[in-house]
Amino acid sequence: MKMNLYSSVSFIFFTLIALQCLSLTIQQATESCSSTLPLNDLTFNSSLLQCLEAWTSQNYILRYARTLENTWSFILSAPDSSVFIGIGFSTNGQMVGSSAIVGWLPPDGLGQAKQYFLGGQSPSEVMPDQGDLVIVNGSLKIESVSSRLYMSFQLTAEKPRQSLLYAKGPAGFFPFSPGFRLREHQAMTTTTINYNTGSQSVVKGSPYSKLRKTHGLMNMIGWGILIIIGAIVARHMKQWEPTWFYSHIAIQITGFLLGLTGIICGLVLENRTNANNVSTHKALGITILVMGGLQVLALLARPDKESKYRIYWNWYHHNLGRAMIILAISNIFYGIHLAKAGSSWNIGYGSAVGVLALAAIGVEIRKFLNNITLF
C-alpha cells in the first residue's frame, strides 16, 4: 500500500514537472510584439523597430525600421520547427517574379540565409543568389534563440515593396550545397504593409485565381478524366446491355459540358488578363471542343448495327475519340506548364491518368485472354 502511494505521488510529481517544462517550451517558442527582442549583437538600434504579427497562424513576427537614410532593417522571427522560413518582396502581390530572403538552421549545422529569385512555382525556377533586393553587406544572418528563429537583414531602398510574402518550408528539409535548391513550401500567405503606420492587410490571392483554378479543374475533370472513363465503359462493358450505352452517353455528355465550361472560363480569363502566351493552348482547346461537339452529334447520326455504314461510323467515332483524348491530356499538361501551377498539379493529374491507364490496360488484357479462351 505504501509502495503504491509512493509510486502515485512520484508519478504526479514528475508529471507536474513535465507539464511545467512543456509550458515553458511553448512559451519560449511563442512570441508577440510585446515580447522583448532577445538579440544583443545587432548593428542597429532595435528600439526603433516597429513590430507587427505578420502571419498569425504561424506566429511569424516582423520587426522593421528605417535605421539610416535609404537603409531599412528587418528582423523576421518564427518558431524553430526544423523548416526554412522566408519573406518575399513582390511588385504585384504574386510569388512569381518576386525576390525573397530565405533562411534555415539545421540541428547539426550552421544557419544560412540567401536571396532567391522566384522565377516560377516549381523548385527549378527558384534561383539562389539571385534577385533584385540590395542587401547591405554582412547584414544577413539567422540564429535560433529560445526555440525561435531570428532572421535579420538590411535593405538599401528608398522604401521597400509593400507586398510581402511569407513562406514555411517542408518539415525536416534544409537546402544544401552546392545547389541550395528549395522544395515547395508547406504554406504561404501574402500581406500588404504600410511602412509608415505599421498596418497590414491580408491578400486573398490574385483577382482571377479562382477563375484560373475553375478553368483548370473543369477541363481536367471533363476532357481529361470523364471522357477517358466513358471510352473505357464503351469498350469493355458491352456485356451489360443497354446499361453500358446509357452510362457511356451520360458520362461523355457530362464530360463535354464540364469541358465546355472550362473552355468558356479560359476565354474569359484570357480576355481579363490580356494573356499573350496562350495562343497554342487556346487553339488546342478549341480543337478539342470541336471534336467533342462532333462526337455528341455523332450519337444523333448513329446508324443501326445492320447498316452497311455502321463500320464507317465506328471507325470515325472511335478514332476521333482517341485523338481527342490524346490532345486533351497533352493540352492539360501544357496548361499546367503555362500557369506555372507547380508539381502538385502535374503529380495529381498524372496520377489520375496513370490509374486510368492501368485500368484500361488491365481490362484490355482480360478481354484478350477471354478471346483466347473462346478459341
| Numbered residues of the known binding site for heme b | 215, 248, 281, 317
The C-alpha cell at 341 is: 501551377
Helices in the chain by DSSP H: which ranges? 2-29, 209-221, 227-236, 243-273, 279-300, 310-339, 343-374
Give the chain's radius of gyration (CA, Å): 29
* Burial (Cβ within 10 Å: 0-12, 13-18, ≥19) of residue 270: middle
d(CA 238, CA 250): 15
Start-to-end CA span in the chain (Å): 83
Contacts of 353 (CB under 8 A, 6+ apart): 224, 228, 329
Q: Which residue has the cell 447498316?
A: 307
d(CA 153, CA 135): 7
Inter-helix orientation angle 279-300/310-339, to 10°: 150
d(CA 354, CA 13): 56
* Burial (Cβ within 10 Å: 0-12, 13-18, ≥19) of residue 319: exposed
Whether the CB-CB separation of 227 and 328 falls below 8 Å is answered with yes
3-state secondary structure 46-101: HHHCEEEEEEHHHCEEEEEEEEECCEEEEEEEEECCCCCEEEEEECCCCCCCEEEE
